[in-house]
Amino acid sequence: MTARTVLQPADITRALTRISHEILESNRGGENLIILGIPTRGVALAHRIGAILESIEPGSGRVGELDVTMYRDDLAGQPTRAPARTHIPAGGIDGTTVVLVDDVLYSGRTIRAALDALGDHGRPRAVRLAVLVDRGHRELPIRADFVGKNLPTSADERIRVRLTEIDGIEEVTIES
Amino acid sequence: MRHLLSTRDLSRDEAIQILDVAEDMADVANREVKKLPTLRGKTVINLFFEDSTRTRTSFELAAKRLSADLVNFSAKGSSVSKGESLKDTAQTLAAVGADAVVIRHASSGAPQTLATSGWIDAAVLNAGDGTHEHPTQALLDAFTMRRRLHGAASRGKSLDGLTVTIVGDILHSRVARSNVWLLDTLGATVRLVAPATLLPADISTWPVTAGFDLDDAVDADPDVVMMLRIQAERMHAAFFPNAREYSRQWGLGDERLARLRPDTMVMHPGPMNRGLEISANAADSSRSTVLEQVANGVSVRMAVLYLLLSGSAEL
Amino acid sequence: MTYLITGATLPDGTTTDLLVDNGVIAETGSSLSQSGATVIDAAGLTALPGLVDLHTHLREPGFEQSETVLTGSRAAAIGGFTSVFAMANTSPVSDTAGVVEQVASLGVRAGYVTVRPIGAVTMGLKGEQLSEIGAMAQSRAQVRVFSDDGSCVHDSLLMRRALEYVKTFDGVIAQHAQDPRLTLGAQMNEGALSGELGLAGWPAVAEESIIARDVLLAQHVGARLHVCHVSTAGSVDVIRWAKARGIAVTAEVTPHHLLLTEDLVRTYDSRYKVNPPLRRTEDVMALREGLADGTIDIIATDHAPHPVEAKECAWDEAANGMVGLESALSVVHASVVASGQLDWSDVARVLSSKPAEIGRLSGYDAAFVVGSPANFTLYDASASRVFGTEHLHGKGVNSPYLERTLPGRVMATIHNGYATVLDGELLDAPTVAESARVHRG
């Protein structure tokens, strides 16, 4: 197995900063914006994006967590998953623009589950998707609005995102 | 988890996992849409050989909130002789494709027989068997204790250091047995109080201390007092003389209630005999967790159904 | 029919040939020969006198779906038995001369073993009124053992009268010692495990208190008493005390109480449900010791076949009982012979001569002596097998030993001079019935 680093810590920070600006730009400011991270690493990324938004436009960085375990379509085929916490910021999501945040966009099934989960919490005005890495191979008609880096991969390669908060180190690698 | 037959089989990690998942399930009850699609397409059968509207309804709500198809199969009063009906019923349920069977049976061990007989492949969930166990009741009791102690910060916590006194008909109580094993696993200290006739003949192997005197137990300042339902027919079999004497010796009356700390939890699995094992004041006081127990029952049963029915079968 | 058995090892360890002719042991010694005899090579096999079971449920008449005299006799023969005492809890109950004669004649016709019916102590086993003990004793069935097995004769006055009355006929009361009130709804041995499993307890005192009362009654009226299926350490103590006082009490233990303990109940597998229940390890050890020191006189199977549906249900709905004839000798071997507590001559005593003596069955007091009836079995003590339903030959498959490895195997059984088992296989029913007919002459 060989691992190749594709994003260094500085690359990750730069990508998140750019995504944050793009979010504000597409939302025409920071109003009615909610950033929801998808566990596990999407939550850490959401909090970073929230902090950047806050620094640009105070009050715009409302962050929550959205667990999608109970909405997955592949529960039967895998060992039992322990669900993670869901936390929706006070005030709820009705009428807001929700930006879902995940580390890697691949088949699109996690995002499909997230859209279902979101629907059970209320009715946002719009839902956007931000990912650190888009590696292709989509199985559903889903695309990201904000992408840190597009990484064309083959299906047998593995993308690993490691973040300081969770893994103690900061890098994105491709293993094959 | 393949089946849930007994709390004795649960490891500490498994028990805490169930309680943690139940926390997530409890959150669902506070949402606008109180339903998850998780068990869509799964069939859960409520197989109740004994009446129990409370437990049956609790499981029914739990299954429906997870989008499972739930069928109530009341086996009580069936014309088939008792012995044949468990096997025949099991094979019938297997034929219609049940994924889980929630079984309540008057015979101790019936869920285990169902799970190991080969009559049916479904997950078996013990909803109370004879005088053996009632694992989801103990789980919801533990969940209730943990929430009272830790509130929103309950996830991941055990019951280390908690002192729990269980009072009443231990001999015939499946709730007591399941609680004894689970509370010990979760780190609590358990004390049993009952007349000698209502304690099992030999509990030397149980992780408990036992005594006859409720006043001693109250003065020992327990964190939790769990009162068990006393059934009237016991007095006819000479377990105790009459209700008045039982109530005086082993009932949680107002005087004993007043001696408990304000934050001592008073629990009861229900249905209560007010005025017999528990006074109305005790049942309705702020110490009482009786209604929380009922609400928490749904969350805990959702957690168990989720853990049994999602994920591939273990090899 | 003539058989020459060569090189058999007798219970005392000596090796001999045995010539069987005309229903009796015709000759013993080495290098025997006889033209026309069927030769059975018994080198390495242990010859035991024909086993006698004082406690068998043959279920006929009335419960033929569980067992018949024929099928139970076949189970007995493959287990090395040549005689069984058939318990009285049939339907109708064996409480009249008519029923016991019917059972006895079915046994004669089947021919695999000698079937001696046991008469009920009380009419319908109800514990209220003595049955026609005299008529049964004087019938062609020659009943000498009387028992309400399955129920205890718990009325003290009735028990006293029964003990006194059977003296007239040299009979014995075989008591199922179980205080009915102390065992209401009982499901398993009362102790730590019953409390944990939530199964109603069957306390040892319910057996011990009845035995204590009965030995005192037997002493008072000067009668013989036999205690069925002793199961607790306390019972062994009571019987030891009674024997020391010179009371005419005999006692039996089942093979399963010598090997199995209550821990098996943890599975809620109803094959382990039996009455009296499986007890603690301490009880098993005390029973083995009691058997070794003679406090317990005999081993009896309490062979109790049930149809499959009586066991395929929840524990407390399941019937009590285990089949035991086919496995008895192997289980005795595994429990008390392997432990060194009994040698083969002890086995011959506790499974043949002594039960015959208690039941007043003749022909078992001088095994392998020239001129004595040829009832014996050849046992391969070096064999070992995983016990399975293919080893069961009665109707019941409710054996607690299925899938267990048991030592030994019965290779041949000779009953009244003719074979019922040869080369480890049962002979077919018509062959055995014909042999029996020829023997009767």
Domain carrying residue A46:
3-74+83-175
- For residue B107, the chain C residues in CB contact (below 8 A) are 314-317
Nearest to C195 among B83, B86, B202 (CB): B202
CA distances (Å), origin B233, targets B239, B241, C243 = 9, 11, 43
Task: Say yes or no: C62 contacts chain B, CB-CB below 8 A.
Answer: no
Which amino acid is residue C150, in one-letter code?
G
- For residue B208, the chain C residues in CB contact (below 8 A) are none
* Domain assignment of residue B254, yes or no: yes
* Domain assignment of residue B248, yes or no: yes
Tokens, residue C303:
């062979």
Going by C-alpha positions, the residue among C325, C341, C342 that lies closest to residue C377 is C325
More confident residue, C313 or C120: C120
CB–CB of C195 and B174 under 8 A? no
For residues B213, B217, B220, B224, the Cα torsion angle rounded to the nearest 10 degrees is 180
Going by C-alpha positions, the residue among C66, C136, C56, C64 that lies closest to residue C99 is C136
CB–CB of B1 and A77 under 8 A? no
**Using CB atoms and an 8 Å cut-off, which of residues 254-313 of chain B contact chain C?**
none
Q: Distance between CA C16 and CA C329 in Å, rounded?
A: 22
CB–CB of C198 and B113 under 8 A? no
Q: Distance between CA A120 and CA A125 in Å, rounded?
A: 14
Q: Distance between CA B104 and CA B125 in Å, rounded?
A: 9
Above 50 in pLDDT, residue B313? no
CB–CB of C197 and B202 under 8 A? no
- Residue found by looking up tokens 């280390």 in the block: B160
Above 50 in pLDDT, residue A106? yes
Nearest to A116 among B24, B37, B66 (CB): B37
Amino acid B84: pLDDT: 55
Amino acid B312: pLDDT: 59
Same-domain check for residues B218 and B163: yes
Tokens, residue C243:
């024997």
Q: Distance between CA B300 and CA B139 in Å, rounded?
A: 7
| Average pLDDT score over residue span A116-123 | 92
CA distances (Å), origin C152, targets C94, C182, C206, C207, C254 = 16, 12, 11, 10, 17
CATH number at B32 reads 3.40.50.1370
| Average pLDDT score over residue span B29-43 | 89
Which of the residues C202, C317, C403 would you substitute to probe the B interface, choosing the one with the greatest number of B C-beta atoms within 10 Å?
A: C317
CATH number at A168 reads 3.40.50.2020
- For residue C191, the chain B residues in CB contact (below 8 A) are 201-202
Task: Say yes or no: B200 contacts chain C, CB-CB below 8 A.
Answer: yes
Q: Is C302 a catalytic residue?
A: yes
Model confidence pLDDT, tens digit, residues C258-289: 999 999 999 999 999 999 999 999 999 999 99
SS3 C390: helix
Which amino acid is residue B5, in one-letter code?
L
Amino acid B60: pLDDT: 96
CB–CB of B33 and A120 under 8 A? yes
Cis amide linkage into residue C61, ω under 30° from 0: yes
Query: CB-based contacts of C281: which residues, under 8 Å, 6+ apart?
Result: C261
Report the share of chain B in percent with pLDDT over 90: 80
Q: Residue B236 burial (CB < 10 Å; 0-12/13-18/19+)?
A: exposed
Q: CA angle, C269 as apex, C264 and C273 as ends, to 5°?
A: 75
Same-domain check for residues B92 and B231: no
Same-domain check for residues B129 and B159: no
Task: Say yes or no: B37 contacts chain A, CB-CB below 8 A.
Answer: yes
Tokens, residue C53:
């079971």
Same-domain check for residues B92 and B223: no
Half-sphere CA count of C85, side-chain side, radius 13 A = 31
Q: Distance between CA A108 and CA A94 in Å, rounded?
A: 24
| Average pLDDT score over residue span C372-386 | 98
Task: Say yes or no: B24 contacts chain A, CB-CB below 8 A.
Answer: yes
Same-domain check for residues B116 and B171: no
Can you say how many angstroms the Cα of residue B217 is from the centroid of all Cα atoms in its chain? 23
**Residue-by-residue DSSP string for chain B:** ---B--GGG--HHHHHHHHHHHHHHHHHHTSSS----TTTT-EEEEEESS--HHHHHHHHHHHHHTT-EEEEEE-TT-SS-HHHHHHHHHHHHHHTT-SEEEEEESSTTHHHHHHHSSS--SEEEEEEETTTB-HHHHHHHHHHHHHHHHGGG-TT---TT-EEEEES--TT-HHHHHHHHHHHHTT-EEEEE--GGGS-S--TTSSEEEES-HHHHHHT--SEEEEPP--THHHHTTSSS-HHHHHHHH-B-HHHHHHS-TT-EEE--S---BTTTB-HHHHHSTTB-HHHHHHHHHHHHHHHHHHHHSSPPP-
Same-domain check for residues B145 and B213: yes
* Domain assignment of residue B2, yes or no: no
CB–CB of B32 and A122 under 8 A? yes
Going by C-alpha positions, the residue among C274, C407, C387, C383 that lies closest to residue C329 is C407
**Active-site hit among C17, C95, C149, C302:** C302
Q: How many CB atoms lie within 10 A of CB B14?
A: 15
Nearest to B38 among A75, A79, A122 (CB): A75
What residues in chain A have their Cβ under 8 A from chain B's Cβ atoms? Answer: 67, 70-71, 75-86, 116, 119-122
Task: Say yes or no: B87 contacts chain C, CB-CB below 8 A.
Answer: yes
Q: Give B79's pLDDT tier (boundaries 50, 70, 90).
A: very low
Q: CA angle, B305 as apex, B301 and B308 as ends, to 5°?
A: 135
Same-domain check for residues B245 and B182: yes
Above 60 in pLDDT, residue C55? yes
Q: Give A21's pLDDT tier (boundaries 50, 70, 90).
A: very high
Task: Say yes or no: B17 contacts chain A, CB-CB below 8 A.
Answer: yes
Q: Give B314's pLDDT tier (boundaries 50, 70, 90).
A: very low
Task: Say yes or no: C123 contacts chain B, CB-CB below 8 A.
Answer: no
- Residue found by looking up tokens 């620094």 in the block: A55
Cβ C417 vs Cβ C432: under 8 Å: no
Architecture of the domain whose range is C2-46+372-389+401-440: Roll (2.30)
Amino acid B80: pLDDT: 46
Domain carrying residue B104:
7-134+294-309
Model confidence pLDDT, tens digit, residues A127-173: 999 999 999 999 999 999 999 999 999 989 999 999 999 999 999 99
| Average pLDDT score over residue span A68-84 | 84
- For residue A65, the chain B residues in CB contact (below 8 A) are none
The domain C49-358 is classified under which CATH number: 3.40.50.720, 3.40.50.920, 3.20.20.140, 3.40.140.10?
A: 3.20.20.140
Q: Distance between CA C219 and CA C248 in Å, rounded?
A: 7
Q: Distance between CA B35 and CA B58 in Å, rounded?
A: 15
Cβ A93 vs Cβ A121: under 8 Å: yes
Q: Distance between CA C93 and CA C104 in Å, rounded?
A: 14
Cβ B17 vs Cβ A82: under 8 Å: yes
Chains B and A touch (3+ CB pairs under 8 A): yes
| Average pLDDT score over residue span C171-189 | 97
| Average pLDDT score over residue span C48-59 | 98
**Residue-by-residue DSSP string for A9-51:** HHHHHHHHHHHHHHHHHHTTSSTTEEEEEPTTHHHHHHHHHHH
**Using CB atoms and an 8 Å cut-off, which of residues 293-312 of chain B contact chain A?**
306-307, 310-312
Above 80 in pLDDT, residue A77? no
Cβ C435 vs Cβ C418: under 8 Å: yes
Amino acid A111: pLDDT: 97
Amino acid B189: pLDDT: 98
Same-domain check for residues B32 and B71: yes
Above 50 in pLDDT, residue B81? no
Q: How many residues does chain A have?
A: 176
Same-domain check for residues B167 and B41: no
B87 phi/psi in degrees, rounded to 5: -65, -50
SS3 C368: coil
Nearest to C314 among B107, B200, B203 (CB): B107
* Domain assignment of residue B314, yes or no: no
Cβ B279 vs Cβ B257: under 8 Å: yes
Same-domain check for residues B19 and B140: no
- The Cα of A152 is separated from the nearest Cα of chain B by a number of Å equal to 31
Mean pLDDT, all residues of chain C: 97
Task: Say yes or no: C12 contacts chain B, CB-CB below 8 A.
Answer: no
Same-domain check for residues B104 and B246: no
Q: How many structural domains is chain A composed of?
A: 1
Q: Distance between CA C255 and CA B4 in Å, rounded?
A: 36
Task: Say yes or no: C264 contacts chain B, CB-CB below 8 A.
Answer: no
Mean pLDDT, all residues of chain A: 93
Above 80 in pLDDT, residue B121? yes
CA distances (Å), origin B83, targets A143, B93, C275 = 59, 16, 19
Q: Distance between CA B53 and CA C129 in Å, rounded?
A: 48
Task: Say yes or no: C266 contacts chain B, CB-CB below 8 A.
Answer: no
B126 phi/psi in degrees, rounded to 5: -75, 115
**CATH 3.20.20.140 domain residues, chain C:** 49-358
ipTM of the complex: 0.92
Q: Distance between CA C363 and CA C353 in Å, rounded?
A: 9
- The Cα of A65 is separated from the nearest Cα of chain B by a number of Å equal to 13
Cα Rg of chain C, angstroms:
21
CB–CB of B311 and A79 under 8 A? yes
- For residue A121, the chain B residues in CB contact (below 8 A) are 31-33
Which amino acid is residue C50, in one-letter code?
G
Can you say how many angstroms the Cα of residue A85 is from the centroid of all Cα atoms in its chain? 15
Model confidence pLDDT, tens digit, residues C398-416: 999 999 999 999 999 999 9
Chains A and C touch (3+ CB pairs under 8 A): no
Q: Distance between CA C22 and CA B229 in Å, rounded?
A: 74
